[in-house]
Amino acid sequence: MLRPTPKRCGRCAAASRPARARPDSIEGQDQVTRIVVLPGDGIGPEVTNEAISCLEMLSDHFELGLRFEEHPFGGAGIDAHGDPLPETTLHACRNSDAVFLGAVGGPKWDKAEKRPEVGLLGLRSALGLFANLRPSRVIPGLESFSPLKASIATGADVLVVRELTGGLYFGERTQSDDFASDLCTYSRVEVERIAHVAFQEARRRGSKVTSVDKANVLATSKLWRRIVEEVAAGYPDVTLDHMYVDAAAMALVSAPGRFDVILTENLFGDILSDQLSVIGGSIGLLGSASRGADGPMMFEPIHGSAPDIAGLDIANPAGAIASAAMLLEIGLGLHEHAAMLNNALEQVLLDGARTADLGGDSTCSSFGAQVREKLQERLDRHSAMAGHLAINRGCCA
Ligand SMILES: NC(=O)C1=CN([C@@H]2O[C@H](COP(=O)(O)OP(=O)(O)OC[C@H]3O[C@@H](n4cnc5c(N)ncnc54)[C@H](O)[C@@H]3O)[C@@H](O)[C@H]2O)C=CC1
Ligand SMILES: CC(C)CC(=O)C(=O)O
Ligand SMILES: [Mg+2]
């Protein structure tokens, strides 16, 4: 993964080092990291605006060289080019260092020949983004966000590793007036590679994987379970257990603390991660990262375009901002910068800012502005610290 080179004092604590130079960088020229931004539809542009503004602030301050270019996608792609995934948009995504997506869909395009959601699935497939990481936790101090009793919700911290390019969403479909079918397929390779992602993620967390399937009925789940067991043998330090998806849905609300990493297929992961999001307070809080074997990663909040609240400036941008932090951390390897943004976001919530989904009256834009205020405080503190270090070390004169 390409990392921008922060241009501050080389020894400065918050400036991560580049992992490797961009292959297309020209000596003596500034390095640029291309972020393709797909605001999409409904609340997508509203939450994207808040998230990208945070990234711009960080990029300006640390001279990260992030360059943002917006492209139509989803319903906006249909309106602009008659296609939810216009060729120019796909080309830009393929040639980017990372993609940031708001959300797509809405009633305006529900009867379109190719719906916005077809564009989303097409993009995930075209970029080979087979692994979708959806972290969710009950933030310490904000247990009251959860509809669950504090005794149940406290400490919940779960990562859903969702297979993203296989299963029912990508199987052959038939549809007539009286009959319809959706084919669910999984191959050994598809299960193996997502299982490896889950076990590797578990090593960075609580060392436990719960694989969720329906192996008491489905052939794909039987294959899934067998291959997950095989992959698990290579990770003796990680505990593996299996749950049927119906039981897992129940356990998520009765004992969310029992989970660390949930490894599951596309449809189950889609459903369970929405359910999980509410345990932390709202679907508006969760970000996600999608990755393939190589190429650009994509970052998006887990929610949809929320047509019921679109255009009202009341959407919660926290999930989009959390996705921006994931872009910094996972996409660009800028751990300290990501931590600054996450920390600013969490502080705004701890200070009491609440959008409507959390029972408050903060607007989307005012919430975003508050996060940037907190971020600015952290940047100022960082500059002051870097100044001290520079004086002591005789650099950054
Ligand atoms: N990644 C994507 O682009 C996704 C797109 N969709 C599409 O979005 C459209 C709407 O789908 P829905 O099923 O209604 O799911 P949704 O996630 O858009 O909304 C479900 C509920 O959560 C609320 N909500 C969602 N995000 C919120 C936020 N940030 N702040 C406050 N409240 C929020 C909405 O107001 C709504 O009541 C459909 O066209 C669907 O296909 C759905 C999920 C993901
Ligand atoms: C088009 C849908 C599969 C999008 C969705 O619900 C999701 O990825 O969470
Ligand atoms: Mg979903």
Instruction: Kindly state if the Cβ of 300 falls inside 6 Å of ligand 2.
Output: no
CA–CA distance, 363 with 310 (Å, rounded to integer):
12
Q: What is the mean pLDDT of residues 232-257?
A: 98
Of all ligands present, the nearest one to the C-alpha of 300 is 1
Do 221 and 83 belong to one domain?
no
CA of 16 to the centre of ligand 3 (A): 33
CA of 91 to the centre of ligand 2 (A): 22
pLDDT number for residue 23: 36
Do 142 and 270 belong to one domain?
yes
Are 93 and 127 within 8 A, CB to CB? yes
pLDDT number for residue 190: 98
Residues 15-45, buried b or exposed e (16+ Cβ, 10 A)?
bbebeeebeeeeeeeebebbbbbbbbbbbbb
pLDDT number for residue 328: 98
Mutation test residue for ligand 1: of 38, 305, 354, the one with most atoms within 8 Å of CB: 305
147 assigned to some structural domain? yes
CA–CA distance, 4 with 19 (Å, rounded to integer):
9
**395 vs 177, more confident:** 177
223 assigned to some structural domain? yes
22 assigned to some structural domain? no
Residue 18 confidence class, pLDDT cut points 50, 70, 90: very low
Q: Position of tokens 């129940």?
A: 250
Q: How many angstroms separate the Cα of 78 from the Cα of each of 94, 95, 103, 105?
A: 20, 22, 14, 11
Task: Lowest mean pLDDT of 1-10, 42-51, 226-235, 239-248, name the range.
Answer: 1-10
Protein residue whose Cα sits closest to atom 13 of ligand 1? 304
pLDDT number for residue 199: 98
CA–CA distance, 8 with 12 (Å, rounded to integer):
7
pLDDT number for residue 395: 55
Do 299 and 390 belong to one domain?
yes
Do 220 and 325 belong to one domain?
no
Instruction: Kindly state if the Cβ of 270 falls inside 6 Å of ligand 2.
Output: yes
Tokens describing residue 259: 């989970």
Q: What is the mean pLDDT of residues 229-238?
A: 98
Domain stops at, among 262, 289, 316: 289
Whether the predicted pLDDT of 217 surpasses 80: yes
Q: What is the mean pLDDT of residues 128-140?
A: 97
pLDDT number for residue 390: 75
Do 285 and 315 belong to one domain?
no
Q: What is the pTM of this model?
A: 0.93
Q: Position of tokens 């020229």?
A: 29
Q: Position of tokens 């008491």?
A: 216
Tokens describing residue 326: 């994931």
DSSP strand pairing (157-163 vs 173-175): unpaired
Q: Which residues are catalytic?
A: 169, 214, 246, 270, 274
pLDDT number for residue 5: 53
Work out how many domains the chain is built from and give that number.
2
- What does the pLDDT look like over 145-164, one tens digit per residue? 999 999 999 999 999 999 99
CA–CA distance, 143 with 147 (Å, rounded to integer):
9
Do 35 and 149 belong to one domain?
no
CA–CA distance, 283 with 273 (Å, rounded to integer):
9
ipTM reported for the complex, 2 dp: 0.99
DSSP state for residue 114 in the 8-state scheme: S
Q: Which residues are annotated as a binding site for NAD(+)?
A: 304-316
CA of 289 to the centre of ligand 1 (A): 17
Residue 385 confidence class, pLDDT cut points 50, 70, 90: confident
Do 208 and 255 belong to one domain?
yes
Do 50 and 195 belong to one domain?
no
pLDDT number for residue 11: 31
Domain stops at, among 289, 324, 346: 289
% of residues, the chain, pLDDT over 70:
91
246 assigned to some structural domain? yes
Q: What is the mean pLDDT of residues 371-381?
A: 97
- What does the pLDDT look like over 282-339, one tens digit per residue? 999 999 999 999 999 999 999 999 999 999 999 999 999 999 999 999 999 999 999 9
Mutation test residue for ligand 1: of 121, 266, 283, the one with most atoms within 8 Å of CB: 283
Q: DSSP string covering 351-376, please? A: TT--BGGGT--B-HHHHHHHHHHHHH
CA–CA distance, 130 with 176 (Å, rounded to integer):
30
Protein residue whose Cα sits closest to atom 5 of ligand 2? 270
- pLDDT averaged over the chain? 92
CA–CA distance, 93 with 310 (Å, rounded to integer):
25
342 assigned to some structural domain? yes
Q: Position of tokens 């983004």?
A: 129
The CATH number of the domain holding residue 41 is: 3.40.718.10
Q: Which residues are annotated as a binding site?
A: 124, 134, 162, 246, 270, 274, 304-316
Q: Helix or strand or coil: residue 283?
A: helix
Residues in the chain: 397
Count H helices and E strands in the chain, helices first: 12, 12
Q: DSSP string covering 145-173, please? A: GSSS-HHHHTT-EEEEEEE-SSGGGGS-E
pLDDT number for residue 30: 63
Are 127 and 326 within 8 A, CB to CB? no
Residue 4 confidence class, pLDDT cut points 50, 70, 90: low
Q: Residue 168: exposed, middle, or buried by beta-carbon count in 10 A (0-12, 13-18, 19+)?
A: middle
* Amino acid residing at 335: H
- What does the pLDDT look like over 167-204, one tens digit per residue? 999 999 999 999 999 999 999 999 999 999 999 999 99
pLDDT number for residue 29: 47
Q: By C-alpha distance, which of 169, 41, 35 is closest to 103?
A: 41
pLDDT number for residue 397: 38
23 assigned to some structural domain? no
Do 339 and 366 belong to one domain?
yes
CA–CA distance, 166 with 184 (Å, rounded to integer):
8
Q: How many CA atoms lie within 13 A of 39 on its CB side?
A: 20
Residue 388 confidence class, pLDDT cut points 50, 70, 90: confident
% of residues, the chain, pLDDT over 90:
89
Q: What is the mean pLDDT of residues 235-257?
A: 98
Do 308 and 343 belong to one domain?
yes
pLDDT number for residue 15: 33
pLDDT number for residue 9: 36
Q: By C-alpha distance, which of 177, 257, 190 is closest to 220?
A: 190
232 assigned to some structural domain? yes
Do 105 and 177 belong to one domain?
no
Do 216 and 300 belong to one domain?
no
Domain of 52, in residue numbers: 1-17+28-127+295-397
245 assigned to some structural domain? yes
Domain stops at, among 224, 255, 289: 289
Protein residue whose Cα sits closest to atom 1 of ligand 2? 117
